Amino acid sequence: MNKFSTIDYVIFVIYFIVVTSYGYWVYSRKKIKGVSDSHDFFLAEGSLTWWAIGASLIASNISAEQFIGTSGQGFAVGLAVAAYEWVAAIALIIVAVWFIPVYLKNKIFTMPQFLHTRYNETVSFIMAIFWLLLYVLVNLTSILYLGALAINNLMGGGYLHEIIIALSIFALFITLGGMKVIGFTDVIQVLVLVVGGLATTYIALTLVSEHFGLGKDAMAGLNKMMSDAPDHFKMMMAKPKPGAPQAEINKYLALPGIAMYFAGQWIVNLNYWGCNQYITQRALGANLKTARTGILFAGLMKLAMPVIVVLPGIAAYVLYKNGGLQQEMASGGHFNSDNAYSAILGFLPTGLKGLSVAALTAAIVASLAGKANSISTIFTLDIYKKHISKEASEKSMVNVGRLTILAALVFSIMLTWKDLLGIGGEGGFTFIQKYTGFISPGIFAIFILGFFWKRTTGAAAIAGILTGFGMSVLFNNYAPKLFGNETLLYTAFPNGKGGFEIPFLICMGLSFMFTIIVMVAISLAGPKVNPKAFEIPRSMFKVEKSTMALIVVTLILLTMLYAKFW
């Protein structure tokens, strides 16, 4: 495996200087204009263009768990994991057309504010605490740890703690400038991410081609991958039969075939893209047309993301299967599919390695900055301003926001120092999906009913939060023991650990269904007229011709992709 050369370091340093210099320039211009209020700091109100919104959405979304975790899933499962990317394209269309108008019409700036406006302060406060814990303990920590681990492996090991601190400082520098600095620096981050990611994919394909004596031909490598591992180019996992190998069962547990499209896949995506401060914050300060165009632009880019984050993992699988990458796929003497991306990066030639590590760093830092800003926004606007200092000035709120960013990053560094949460033990992608999946059904239920059913009450929302979490715990941990391994609702499969398990995407769908039932029943038993229901003019949902054109193009491309790899 080639180590970093002087040219690689030079390329990486140039990337660092360009991003930080541009970020400082954006921040300086903002200061010159005298803009320092809280809405500008947290939302970059009115200043982000559609392309900046779209780029920032992608930069914040594609992070270590995508580069490392999704490539690892590409190694283990194949192209089926691209469902997370491709269903996201449809989810973004739904968010752009139906969710964003509700937020903008009601001047919503944070997700807890939506819950306070639509339900009551109790629901808002509970979910603000939930989101802060989730963002810090799961998202921010996992992004930092996985990213540092990948870069450390590429540099030959021994620098994990130093890289964790360096990534945090880099993200801190960008984040303290506010959402406008994050949004516009994300444009550069996406360019680096895409160029470096495509370079890595190209080299991965040529590695496969050379390994089989086909020369340096990327298309020949892709064709060889498709013929040598046809099961890795199917979007649907077949339901395993009794006695099937555990490896086949594990694939289905992660991606349960067509069943996931009727269950958790939609909840994962719609909750992430439509009910998530981390994501929607980019669009909340813009006008409707700009926000919609930016979101749909991000949806179009999501269609191409599997080329960058999944194909390298499949290439690593083909090489490993045929006797290559044996040493590179081991971590601490043990095989780990999450090493797939860094294993490919290790074979990049001089110069390209620096570019690809810059792309990986861009993804990590952009996500860290976006997540830290969202943590700061929720704490400052929904906890500090409401419950600690109701008369806080604009300046003090910005300062509290900055201190919150610093505290969140320091706390995450402490948790990642010795992997206290066990992120590296079960794979980064699995870790994130598993723990966010416990609260996603309840959150999505209270949002979707709050949007579109006026009878939904605050009592029903509180019950929905508790029911969603309780049902998730039940189906993920106890249902097979209590109700058996097969019922009308689910089938449990051996998990290789002496027990049985229901695919977590199915668990999410079941939890969501029962949460909706409970919320509807409680709401029907409550008052017939809900004074806190939103009145949304139908004109808000009218779609401009340019917006409709973007939607049509996205749907046509998505249909072609599924037709090819069904």
* pLDDT tens sequence across 360-380: 787 788 788 878 888 888 898
Please, which pLDDT band fits residue 34 given cuts at 50, 70 and 90? very low
Question: What pLDDT is attached to residue 507?
Answer: 92
* Residue 420: pLDDT over 70: no
208 Cβ contact partners less than 8 Å away, ≥ 6 residues apart = 221, 222, 224, 225, 315, 318, 319
**What are the CA-CA distances from residue 104 to residues 98, 280, 288, 435 (Å)?**
11, 11, 7, 30
As given in the structure block, the two tokens for residue 197 are: 């990611």
- Per the domain annotation, does 548 fall within a domain? no
For 544, other C-beta atoms within 10 Å of its C-beta total 12
- Per the domain annotation, does 431 fall within a domain? no
Q: 366 versus 388: which is more confidently predicted?
A: 388
- Mean predicted confidence (pLDDT) in 520-532: 87
Please, which pLDDT band fits residue 552 given cuts at 50, 70 and 90? very high
- Per the domain annotation, does 228 fall within a domain? no
pLDDT in tens, 352-365: 778 777 877 877 88
Mean pLDDT value across the chain: 83
Which amino acid appears at position 106 of this protein?
Answer: N
- Per the domain annotation, does 286 fall within a domain? yes
- Per the domain annotation, does 289 fall within a domain? yes
pLDDT in tens, 100-153: 888 888 888 888 888 988 898 998 998 889 888 888 887 888 888 878 877 777
SS3 49: coil
Domain count, the chain: 1
- Per the domain annotation, does 248 fall within a domain? no
Longest distance between any two alpha carbons in the chain, whole Å = 73
Question: What pLDDT is attached to residue 87?
Answer: 93
Share of the chain above pLDDT 70, in %: 89
Question: What pLDDT is attached to residue 188?
Answer: 76
**What are the CA-CA distances from residue 308 to residues 16, 186, 197, 381 (Å)?**
22, 17, 5, 36
Per the structure, the complete domain to which residue 84 belongs is given by: 6-11+50-217+282-420
Q: CB of 100 within 8 A of CB of 338?
A: no
Q: What is the CATH number of the domain that holds 98?
A: 1.20.1730.10
pLDDT in tens, 467-501: 999 999 999 889 999 999 999 889 999 988 888 99
- Per the domain annotation, does 483 fall within a domain? no
- Per the domain annotation, does 395 fall within a domain? yes
Distance between CA atoms of 207 and 214, rounded to whole angstroms?
10
Residue labelled with tokens 């990066």:
345
As given in the structure block, the two tokens for residue 242 are: 């009794």
